[in-house]
Amino acid sequence: MVRRNHVKQKLIRSALTLTVLAIAMLTSGCVHRRVTIRTDPPGAQVLVGGEEIGYSPASFDITWYGTEEVTLLKDGYEIETQYVKIPRPWYQVPPLDFVTDNFLLTRTKDQHDFTFPLTPQTLVPRSDLVERGNAFRSESQLGQ
């Protein structure tokens, strides 16, 4: 009878230990990496790496640090393409990143914000376009 109670207590302790370990693993830390793109004026279509993210201010998650190609489109404004370098914080430098991604007991948020001014589109007068077209036509006829 004493032997059974001892075995039963060992099983309970083992189950409790496994439960605590499982909870610790599920609540272990991780780093949530997020980038927000803002424009002045807001409302520009944002493309990152050629994929549409949304309209500014637009946010997206990243897995890796590095350089992202950001293209901004808005009626009445020039198309802007920028290469944005997303800096790595000190706690994400190897081998520290292994610890912060797996063993911290809290969730860490790494937020990066970038703001881009948009340049108003300049409209070329119709007469200038006609002149340029005629000049190209003349050049092409001379070249034949």
| CATH code, 76 | 2.60.40
> What is the per-residue pLDDT for 18?
74
Domain presence at residue 97: yes
d(CA 19, CA 112): 36
Return the minimum-mean-pLDDT range out of 36-40, 81-85, 97-101, 123-127: 97-101
Structure confidence by residue, pLDDT tens digits, 4-40 = 677 777 778 887 777 766 555 555 568 889 999 999 9
Q: What is the extent of the structural domain holding 57?
A: 28-143
d(CA 59, CA 28): 25
- Ordered DSSP codes for 56-91: SSEEEE-SS-EEEEEEEE-TTB--EEEEEEEPPPGG
Residue 49 is encoded by which pair of tokens?
């790496």
Averaged pLDDT for residues 84-91: 92
Domain presence at residue 131: yes
Averaged pLDDT for residues 90-102: 83
d(CA 26, CA 19): 11
d(CA 69, CA 48): 6
> What is the per-residue pLDDT for 92?
85
Domain presence at residue 6: no
> What is the per-residue pLDDT for 59?
96
> What is the per-residue pLDDT for 27?
52
d(CA 126, CA 45): 28
State the pTM of this model. 0.67
